Amino acid sequence: MARRVVVTGVGLVTPLGTGVEKTWNGLCRGRSGVGTISRFDASELDVRIAAEVKDFESAKFLDVKTAKHMELFVQYAVAASLMALEDAGLTITDENATSFGVVTGNGIGGLPTIEKYHQIALERGMKRITPFFIPMVISNMSAGQISILTGAKGPNLSVTTACAAGSHAVGDAFRMVSRGDCDVAITGGSESTICPLAIGGFNSMKALSKRNDEPEKASRPFDEGRDGFIISEGAGMLILEDLERAMARGATIYAEMAGYGLSGDAYHIAAPPEDGEGAVRCMKMALQDAAMHPADIDYINAHGTSTPLNDVCETLAIKTVFGDHAGKLAVSSTKSMTGHMLGGAGGIEAVFTALAVHHDTAPPTINLENPDPQCDLDYVPNEARNMTIRAAMSNSFGFGGTNAVLIMKKFAG
């Protein structure tokens, strides 16, 4: 018999602030984390804006030597995990270590370090490459370092499915706890690829916004004036726990995991099918897994990238799945404030979804000034909304046509 699984801890590192309180408050106030790139000189690039994490201090979570040999995406994941464990009131010991699993999602890995050491190799020779190069750049090192630093000895897995990776990680962790592979899972997603190569690559695909003079208004999902997404960075981690274990220790429960769907478009490397068919199947699978009807969902944290294709296709997919109920849903894109964290997005938005259920608050879609006529749902424009949220869905769709959908519901005993 499948075990019930609940969210008992959350941790965040985002462009809105390090820590759940900073980010959630910024999100509910409709604050943008997008600005002019400060990490390197972007003055000659077509795209000069991004959503950078501005207040992160690695020394609060890691010793100097350890941090020096970690890429930022790993540092963020470790920090968010430590915050989530503390929030959950959990300590990993020799006695319980094997009952804790780690499942993380990441899209690109250590691209900034690859870029850096390629240049060093060209200019100074191969012998100048640090022996820490490979451990710094491989995508699974977020899960590996979380395990090493916390002592978690249960299942250890890293998912690399582009922009759906964080959601796939949470969904896979949900299933692991549900079937008893572990009692607790530290799970979510992280990413940090704000570097010239990433900016140049996405720009060549015409995927990024070029609203350089108005960075805070550049991410505008579902708006007629949208012109691409904003590359972002950060980490969002959750503690998923067996319900009986959580109740026995009197844990705070943010939400109950209810459903997980995953599908492939089998269509195109970067574009969704016009009818959103893959997303439709994915949402239906999550609803079936949760044993829910469309009318049971009150809020959707949309993938909502602020790209011309995604926003129209996702809107159509939601209308196909939810029918008459689609017009009654609150749907918002938190990427309007955080930008798009690529492989980390699903983990961060899973935290947002749990908090939305817990606080009965739907975050807004900011910069929605002139809605695209083809995007005609209730996107919670510009101001957060206090409302009853019995259950919520989080959508993540990635390059290669990979889709993931999570459903969480209010814990009812």
- Evaluate if residue 129 carries a pLDDT over 90: yes
The encoded tokens of residue 130 equal: 């640090």
The encoded tokens of residue 407 equal: 């459903």
- What is the mean pLDDT of the segment spanning 103-121? 96
The pLDDT value recorded for residue 283 is 98
CA atoms within 13 A on the CB side of 328: 11
> Three-class SS of residue 262?
strand
CB 346 within 8 A of CB 170: yes
CB 177 within 8 A of CB 183: yes
Spatial neighbors of 347 by CB under 8 A, at least 6 apart, are 104, 105, 166, 167, 169, 170, 187, 188, 189, 190, 235, 236, 237, 238
- Cα 134–138–142 angle (5° rounding)? 120
Tell me, rounded to whole angstroms, the distance of Cα 137 from its chain centroid.
20
d(CA 225, CA 367): 10
**Side chain identity, residue 254:** Y
Which single residue is written with the structure tokens 């978690």?
152
d(CA 53, CA 187): 20
- Cα 33–35–39 angle (5° rounding)? 110
DSSP string computed for 214-260: -GGGS--TTBTT---B-BB-EEEEEEEEEHHHHHHTT----EEEEEE
**Catalytic-role residue among 28, 163, 195, 282:** 163
Longest dimension (CA), the chain: 64
Which single residue is written with the structure tokens 């370090």?
113
Torsions phi, psi of 64, nearest 5? Answer: -60, -45
Write down all domains in the chain, each with its CATH number in brackets. 5-248 (3.40.47.10), 260-409 (3.40.47.10)
- The model's pLDDT over 170-187, given as tens digits with 9 standing for 90+, comes to 999 999 999 999 999 999
Residue 322 vs residues 40, 217, 346: alpha-carbon distances, Å: 44, 30, 22
CB atoms inside a 10 Å sphere around CB 283: 28
d(CA 249, CA 43): 54
- The model's pLDDT over 283-338, given as tens digits with 9 standing for 90+, comes to 999 999 999 999 999 999 999 999 999 999 999 999 999 999 999 999 999 999 99
Q: How would you write 185-220 as a 3-class SS string?
A: EEEEEEECCCCHHHHHHHHHCCCECCCCCCHHHCCC
pLDDT more than 70, % of the chain = 100
168 is catalytic: no
CA dihedral 206, 212, 216, 218 (to 10 degrees): -30
- Evaluate if residue 67 carries a pLDDT over 90: yes
163 is catalytic: yes
Name which residue leads in pLDDT, 357 or 274: 357
d(CA 384, CA 141): 36
CA dihedral 199, 204, 205, 208 (to 10 degrees): 40
d(CA 58, CA 64): 8
- What is the mean pLDDT of the segment spanning 188-214? 97
**DSSP class of 183:** S
The pLDDT value recorded for residue 366 is 98
28 is catalytic: no
> Three-class SS of residue 100?
strand
**Catalytic-role residue among 28, 303, 313, 375:** 303
**Catalytic-role residue among 28, 340, 358, 375:** 340
- The model's pLDDT over 135-169, given as tens digits with 9 standing for 90+, comes to 999 999 999 999 999 999 999 999 999 999 999 99
Which single residue is written with the structure tokens 């220790």?
249
DSSP string computed for 381-392: BSS-EE---SEE
Confidence band of 413 (pLDDT split at 50, 70, 90)? confident
Model confidence, pTM: 0.98
